[in-house]
């Protein structure tokens, strides 16, 4: 018997789940709030880990295509102190493929492939149906019933309340994101400063990180500790006012680092929210969660990888497992919670070290996790 399965959210988790099911000939309804794939910026580059994101791509039958689009050179990482002194300069070897980078937009398009997404279908809530199934309530007032609803709708998931009352809380760390375009032609000195991968400067309770994307694009992230409402005196649309505030916060830092802020275009506020480290729930038939909806954690490279691997594993459990639909979901949740809890602890501790009172903590973390 074919089950009616819905995925809420067209990010890495939802797309990977739908793509693996599609590979096994199982239809799925995928609903995305955005009206079109390019309705808003998709964010920066992602590093897909060999045993996580790359494994998910393999399960989707897309590993070769991923390697063709990815940028192994993007794994390069330089760390400087606020004065500009180079403390670490790691560059991948010619065969290093542990964590190659790929632009989010390229990854999204690769996963989309033949999938039929219903764009502009925002969800207000998901209501479990008792012993089985759930009803999805849409912003346009319509409702649809499914045997299984997968909430892959991110940090502020509308599906989560069907299984858990927990909501994200602020970590005390915020980020301002900006971008530089056509950097190799417009700012060749900064292109050299950033290099093929990323450059990071760490100071007391703050950091600046610049990351190369494809096509000459650079994403810049200024992170610092501040109250959630630190920016109430600023008009977010006033680019020059935001720029002046950030330049004051990083006053005295190396000139190239400050030039990244001086030449940045629009600024986006990215406060870091998380769910509790060991977020679980009592199993609810007919509904489950993937990715940030299930285990929002600091953005230190694990979240998207976990989301994709979970999507692939749940899809395979449904397509290939000998048990019924609900048994497959229940067993998957147990595995997900153990692994996600481990990574939530790692990334939470990592965030504390990257924005700590002692910048040496960030350097020590780099030495701990970076290949030799």
Question: Which residues does 64 contact at the CB level (< 8 Å), separation at least 6?
Answer: none
Report the pLDDT value the prediction gives residue 37, as an integer from 0 to 100.
87
Report the pLDDT value the prediction gives residue 35, as an integer from 0 to 100.
92
Please list the rounded mean pLDDT of every run of 10 residues in the chain (372 residues).
90 97 96 91 89 98 96 96 96 92 95 95 94 93 97 97 98 97 97 97 97 96 96 90 97 98 94 97 97 97 96 96 89 97 96 95 89 55
Report the pLDDT value the prediction gives residue 372, as an integer from 0 to 100.
52
CA–CA gap between residue 105 and residue 90 (Å, rounded): 26
Of the candidate CATH numbers 3.40.50.360, 3.30.9.30, 3.30.420.10, 3.40.640.10, the domain formed by 172-271 belongs to: 3.30.9.30
Domain ranges of the chain: 5-71+100-168+276-353, 172-271
CA–CA gap between residue 238 and residue 111 (Å, rounded): 36
Report the pLDDT value the prediction gives residue 371, as an integer from 0 to 100.
58
Say if CB 212 and CB 195 are below 8 A apart: yes
Counting other chains too, the contacts that 185-191 makes at CB distance below 8 Å and 24 or more residues apart are 185/216, 186/263, 187/259, 187/263, 189/256, 189/259, 190/218, 190/256, 190/259, 190/260, 190/263, 191/216, 191/218
User: So what CATH class is 5-71+100-168+276-353?
Assistant: alpha beta
For residue 242, CA distances in Å to 28, 99, 226, 246, 270 come to: 43, 33, 15, 6, 13
Say if CB 181 and CB 285 are below 8 A apart: no
């Amino acid at each position: 018997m074919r089950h009616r399965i819905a995925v809420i959210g067209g990010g890495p988790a939802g797309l990977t789940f739908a793509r693996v099911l599609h590979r096994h000939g199982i239809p799925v309804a995928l609903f995305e709030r955005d009206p079109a794939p390019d309705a808003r910026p998709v964010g920066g580059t992602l590093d897909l880990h060999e045993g996580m994101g790359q494994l998910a791509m393999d399960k989707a039958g897309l590993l070769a295509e991923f390697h063709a689009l990815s940028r192994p050179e993007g794994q390069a990482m330089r760390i400087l102190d606020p004065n500009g002194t180079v403390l670490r300069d790691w560059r991948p070897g010619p065969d290093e493929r542990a964590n190659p980078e790929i632009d989010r937009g390229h990854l999204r398009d690769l996963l989309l492939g033949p999938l039929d997404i219903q764009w502009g279908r925002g969800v207000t809530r998901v209501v479990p149906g008792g012993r089985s199934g759930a009803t999805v309530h849409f912003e346009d007032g319509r409702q649809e019933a499914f045997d299984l609803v997968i909430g892959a709708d991110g940090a502020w998931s509308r599906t989560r309340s069907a299984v858990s009352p927990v909501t994200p809380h602020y970590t005390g760390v915020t980020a301002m994101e900006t971008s530089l375009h056509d950097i190799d032609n417009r700012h060749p000195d900064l292109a050299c400063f950033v290099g093929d991968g990323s450059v990071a400067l760490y100071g007391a309770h703050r950091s600046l990180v610049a990351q190369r994307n494809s096509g000459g694009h650079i994403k810049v992230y200024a992170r610092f500790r501040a109250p959630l409402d630190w920016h109430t005196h600023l008009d977010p649309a006033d680019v020059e006012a935001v720029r002046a505030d950030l330049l004051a916060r990083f006053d005295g830092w190396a000139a190239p680092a400050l030039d990244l802020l001086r030449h940045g275009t629009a600024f986006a506020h990215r406060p870091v929210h998380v769910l509790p480290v060991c977020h679980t729930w009592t199993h609810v038939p007919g509904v489950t969660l993937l990715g940030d909806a299930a285990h929002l954690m600091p953005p230190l490279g694990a979240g998207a990888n976990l989301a994709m691997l979970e999507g692939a594993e749940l899809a395979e459990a449904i397509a290939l497992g000998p048990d019924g639909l609900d048994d497959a979901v229940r067993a998957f949740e147990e595995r997900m919670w153990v692994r996600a809890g481990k990574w939530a602890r790692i990334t939470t501790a990592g965030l504390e070290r990257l924005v700590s009172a002692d910048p040496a903590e960030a350097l020590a973390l780099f030495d701990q996790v970076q290949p030799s």
